[in-house]
Amino acid sequence: YDDRDGYIWMDGEFAAWRDSKVHILTHALHYASAVFEGERAYGGKIFRSLDHSKRLHNSARIMGFEIPFTVEQLEEAKREALAKSGLDSAYVRAIAWRGSEMMGVSAQNNTIHLAVAVWSWGDYFADKMKGIRLTHAEWRRPAPDTAPCHAKAAGLYMICTLSKHAAEKAGYADALMLDYRGQVAEATGANIFFVRDNALHTPTPDCFLNGLTRQTTIKLAQARQIEVIERAIMPDELATFSECFITGSAAEITPVAEIGAHTYKPAEISHSLVDDYTRLVNGKMDLAL
Ligand code: PMP
C-alpha cells in the first residue's frame, strides 16, 4: 500500500503517499500504542463520520493519550483527504499513535500523531451476497480486565490477524471468535447477528467493540418491527439459527452461509437489512441514528 500516487494527511498537512513514513523507533510499532478508525464514504460523504471521529478520540483516551487535533479538526481533515483523493466511494482510515521520542514501555513524553488516508476499497469479502464461510477461531476475545476492549486499538488486532490468517489458510473467509467465557463474540473485524423465528439475536458487546454498523443495523431492524435481542449466545446454539450475518464499516452487512458444521441461508431478514443499509448509506433513507 505504500508505493503509489496520492496524498495522506498527517499532523495537519498533506504529504505524498509514498513519502508518508514514520521512524523505526515509533512507540506504536513496538508497543501497539495506536488507535484507528475504518470508515466508508458513499457518494462523496463519509457515513457516520462524526461518530467515527468521536470514537477515535475516545479510543485514544482509553489508551491514555489525547489526540492533539479536535474532533472538528479531524472531521475537516477527513473531508479534505476525501476531496483530495478524488473518490466518491472510498475507505477512510484515520489513525493516531505515540511517536518516537522515548523508547521503552514508558512513553509519557512522546508526541501524539494523527493521519488520515483515503483509498478505494471494494467489497471486504469477494462474492459477499452468496454468504461467506466462517471457521472457529483459536483465539478468544479478552476479558474487560485483561485488555481495554472498548477501544479500537491496534494491540487488540493481534489475535484478529492470527485468527483471520488461520481461517484463510483453511479456505474460509473469516473466523468466529468466542470471548473469554466461551460465549459467541464476533468475527475478526465485524460484529455478528443471527436470526431465529423472525427475531435478531446478537451478543451483548461487553468485551468487544459495539460497532457503529451494529448499532445502525439494530435501528434498521427496529424500524422494520423486527425484534432485536442482545444477550449471551453460546456456541451450542449455532445450530438453532436460520440466518446469520456480520456487520462492520468495511464489511457492511455481509451474509454468512456457514460457521464450521452449521449452515445458514441468507433469507428475507438478511436481504432486507442489506437493502436498507445500502439505501441508508447512500442517503436514500432517513433514520434517526
Ligand atoms: N469488531 C471489530 C474487531 C472490528 O474491527 C470492527 C470494525 N471496526 C467491528 C467490530 C465493527 O465496527 P464498526 O461497525 O464500527 O465498523
- pLDDT single digits (tens) 84-138: 999 999 999 999 999 999 999 999 999 999 999 999 998 888 888 889 999 999 9
Average pLDDT over residues 163-186: 98
CA of 174 to the centre of ligand 1 (A): 14
Q: Tell which atom from ligand 1 comes closest to the C-alpha of 38.
A: 8
In a domain, 266, yes or no: yes
Q: What stretch of H or E contains 254?
A: strand 252-259
Same-domain pairing of 69 and 144: no
Residue 11 has a CB neighbour count (10 Å cut-off) of 14
Instruction: Give dist(CA 78, CA 45) in Å, integer.
Output: 10
In a mutational test of the pocket of ligand 1, which residue from 140, 159, 217, 249 has the highest number of ligand atoms less than 8 Å from its CB?
249
What is the tens place of the pLDDT at every residue in 190-245?
999 999 999 999 999 999 999 999 999 999 999 999 999 999 999 999 999 999 99
**Residue corresponding to grid cell 457516520:** 48
In a domain, 286, yes or no: no
Residue 50: predicted pLDDT: 98
Q: Tell which atom from ligand 1 comes closest to the C-alpha of 157.
A: 3
Quote the ipTM score: 0.99
% of the chain with per-residue pLDDT over 90: 96
Smallest CA separation from ligand 1 atom 4, residue: 189
Residue 77: predicted pLDDT: 98
Same-domain pairing of 167 and 140: yes
Same-domain pairing of 109 and 210: no
In a domain, 2, yes or no: no
Helix/strand/coil (H/E/C) assignment for every residue in 84-137: HHCCCCEEEEEEEEECCCCCCCCCCCCCEEEEEEEECCCCCCCCHHHCEEEEEC
> Is it the case that residue 186 has pLDDT exceeding 90?
yes
The residue from 71, 86, 119 where one domain ends is: 119
Residue 274: predicted pLDDT: 97
Q: With beta carbons less than 8 A apart as the criterion, state whether 271 and 242 touch.
A: no
- CATH of residue 54: 3.30.470.10
Smallest CA separation from ligand 1 atom 9, residue: 190
Residue 171 has a CB neighbour count (10 Å cut-off) of 8
In a domain, 186, yes or no: yes
Confidence of residue 59 (pLDDT cuts 50, 70, 90): very high
Instruction: Give dist(CA 95, CA 81) in Å, integer.
Output: 13
Cα dihedral 135→174→188→72 (10° resolution): -160
Same-domain pairing of 85 and 105: yes
> Is it the case that residue 18 has pLDDT exceeding 90?
yes
The answer to whether the CB of 249 is under 6 A from ligand 1 is yes
The answer to whether the CB of 175 is under 6 A from ligand 1 is no
Residue 1: predicted pLDDT: 86
- Catalytically annotated residue among 78, 128, 152, 164: 152
Residue 127: predicted pLDDT: 81
- CATH of residue 177: 3.20.10.10
Residue 279 has a CB neighbour count (10 Å cut-off) of 14
Residue 152 annotated among the catalytic residues of the structure: yes
Three-state secondary-structure class, residue 259: strand
Residue of higher predicted confidence among 35 and 126: 35
> Is it the case that residue 52 has pLDDT exceeding 90?
yes
Confidence of residue 65 (pLDDT cuts 50, 70, 90): very high
The residue from 98, 119, 140 where one domain ends is: 119
Residue 124: predicted pLDDT: 87
Residue 131: predicted pLDDT: 95
Same-domain pairing of 102 and 186: no
In a domain, 287, yes or no: no
Same-domain pairing of 45 and 141: no
Same-domain pairing of 107 and 230: no
Same-domain pairing of 179 and 255: yes
The number of domains in the chain is 2
What is the tens place of the pLDDT at every residue in 246-274?
999 999 999 999 999 999 999 999 999 99
Q: Are strands 184-186 and 174-178 parallel, antiparallel or unpaired?
A: antiparallel
Smallest CA separation from ligand 1 atom 5, residue: 189
Residue 160 has a CB neighbour count (10 Å cut-off) of 19
pTM: predicted TM-score of the whole model, two decimal places: 0.97
Same-domain pairing of 141 and 275: yes
User: Residue 93 sits in which domain range?
Assistant: 7-119
